[in-house]
Structure 1
Amino acid sequence: MLRWPDPERVLAQVSRWASELHACRPSLQAVGVSGSYGRGTAGVGSDLELVLIDATAAGPQNQRLLHWPLDQLPLSCDAIVMIQAEFDQLMASGSRMAQELQRDLRWM
């Protein structure tokens, strides 16, 4: 029998993770979940897709990710770390990613 964590439980864990990180890293302004967890369609095999808004984010994306303990999350995770201005620019771009985020993004 295959077991997978309940989506609401996963989202609750992500919310706690975000709150705990914000307590020790005030530069973390927001954490959003997109993809199947944002849409509410997550099921067996779904991974987490996160958007982190960090006021101090700088450098290439792969280096930005090193500052966040994604391994503490309950599932494997794809994440993007941006400052607010980058996020705003992305959302105004009309790109496919922006459209998907507008449709699916759920702030924790």
Structure 2
Amino acid sequence: MRSLTQSVLRWPEPEEILRQVEGWAAEQAASIPSLQRVAVFGSYGRGSAGVGSDLDLLLIDAAASGPQHERLRGWPLEQLPLSCDALVLTPREHADLLAEGSRFALELQRDARWLWPPALASEAI
């Protein structure tokens, strides 16, 4: 009688993902001085991420310009541990977004978890 063999895949724990994103952010900041802040939001920001959750990433880049799809080209998002939806904003755009009070702005304000720089990790948005 043959035994069945199976592969077991393990989804990484959220804290493991967050540590990897912190490392990625530090690497990016070392080569891109205009990067000011990095946060996760959505399920990783709320602390409700589970199997299959994607990564929602907010990059505050003082040098960002052009449409969002062009801004994303400069970031090696493929190096992140999960599939990622990213938003790249200048500091002014970020402030304007929060000031507008839209549903997205309120969710971002509530859910953002700042990962870089390390001094911001305990600070609210």
By relative contact order (CA 8 Å, sep 6+), the higher-ranking structure is 1
1:97 has 2:93 as partner: no
TM-score by length of 2: 0.84
5+ residue gaps, structure 2: 1-7, 116-125
Q: Match of 2:59, as an amino acid?
A: L
> Per-residue CA shift, 1:43-88, capped at 9, x if unaligned?
0000000010001000000000000000000000000001000000
1:77 paired to 2:84: yes
CA RMSD, aligned part only? 0.8
TM-score, normalising length from structure 1?
Answer: 0.97
Amino acid in structure 2 at the alignment position of 1:11 = L
Structure 1 residues not aligned, in runs of 5+:
none
- Between the aligned residues of both structures, percent identity stands at 64
Aligned to 2:54: 47
